[in-house]
Amino acid sequence: MRITVKTGEPGSSAADILAIPVFSPGKEKKGAGPKADRPRLSGALARLDRSLGGVIDRALESGDFRGQADQRLLLYPDAHAGKASIQRLLLVGVGAAEEFDIEGARRLGGAAASESRERKIGRLTILAPRARGLRAEDCAAALAEGAVLGAYRYDRFKKGGRGAAAKKNAAPNTTLLFERAEGLAQLRGRAKEGGLLAESQNVARDLSNAPGNELPPAGLAREARRVARETGLTCRVIRGAELERGGFSALMAVGQGSANPPQLIVLEHRGGRKRNKAGPLCIVGKGITFDSGGISLKPSAGMGDMKHDMSGAAAVVGALRAAALLDLPAHVVGIIAAAENMPSGTAYRPGDIIQSRAGKTIEITNTDAEGRVVLADALDYANEKFSPEAMIDLATLTGAAMIAFGPWATGAMGNDDALIQEIQSAGEEASERMCPMPLLPEHLREMRSPVADLKNAGGREAGVSTAGAFLQQFVGDTPWAHLDIAGTGWTNRRTPYHRQGATGVGVRMLIAWIRARVQQNA
């Protein structure tokens, strides 16, 4: 998507759709009629509406459109009116003016771009709203983020998603129009940043949406290498005999039932002139490119969605891409444990006892609890190889997280309260809610095995926290947080900038976290 930023009155920029934010009115007076308190147009919008035949005023006067958050109404100007350069008007409700914030701007951009993409519109102009407390540059960044996210479609395997048809159905060229704003160069810079960040989230969505036959572990490694070449990241892939020599026994055990062998993928961004003496920031992702459950086979209903069991890995790729393109002055390492969990004559079995890279033995009580097993080796490798300042892992780890939080929040836990608070703050900035969960001594006791150091699955109780307690045994004293994105990594609900499929959750939050760390260490 090409995004430009301009200043001028509404209607000064030619558009197939002009998206107009409409604030909802204040509370209606007691006893007043339904039309007594309706959304009002600014002077500039009122002048534009008169030139277009009064179509907006008629819609507002009818009471059908009240400016409530995420409400939309598409209008067509009077065919005989002026301003022929504007073909359609899209009214987008943004709620009460006093409640409008960065997320509101993001949703406005998403709604406008999504509507335009659905209608195969080539030119979109979004009128930037003015709200107290919202800086114009922050609004520009959020509008750009929302527009790029809202225009996203995963149509690679559709006939219209390839070649000339793909170009015809592409995301609209988008103009962000500010009526009055100082520092146009700064607005353009922030819009560019917002667009790059959203594009990186879309890269993560593409990876998570890709079918398992197109993206086995080697395919995920290939995509990581491609991103590295395009952005200047370094990429190393550990596989085959090198995995065995490196002691990655747990990762290899999970992948041994598949014809597609496991891989460990390492991406590195060396930003800034000086490397932090405390070590890099490490981000570790679960990369199960397809999860059948193994010998502990999943039910067939919904198994097709298990192509996205590598959404944690996708977030790592997206975040490292963004860190490189935004040239963040930080040393960031992304590590992905990639494997395919399949049933076969060579698959690991319930009852097996396997080694881990850290030397701890693991009793396999359920082969479908494979994510924590591959992460055990990845976390140990990150800790030993890089001595990180802090470490975060992201994984679609437990069904318990989906039951506890649904698609509305990510479960967060770890061994460092300050780090959890940092993640919560970064999540609020990105509108990706992070909810703290406890890690109690009882959770670890539940994961002790009578025949090995640990078992890979506990009972039904506290499933989110017992999985976290298992992972904690592989991070040493490094400040660490575990994010269970089982509920947030995939959605069947539509929002202004999400649609069915992968969400790319974590990418924007991680960048906000890295930026906060950079400021903290400055």
Active site residues: 298, 372
- Name the DSSP letter for residue 8: S
- Cα separation of 469 and 460, whole Å? 14
Which residues face 436 on adjacent strands?
A: 412
Helix spans in 29-125 (H): 43-51, 55-62, 102-118
Place of tokens 């009578």: 450
For 176-205, the DSSP string reads: EEESS-S-HHHHHHHHHHHHHHHHHHHHHH
Helix spans in 354-408 (H): 371-386, 399-405
Reference 77, options 60, 89, 90; nearest CA is 89
- Cα separation of 3 and 386, whole Å? 38
- Three-class HEC string of 201-267: HHHHHHHHHCCCCCCCHHHHHHHHHHHHHHHCCEEEEEEHHHHHHCCCHHHHHHHCCCCCCCEEEEE
- Cα separation of 83 and 16, whole Å? 12
Q: What are phi and psi of 41, to 5 degrees?
A: -95, 145
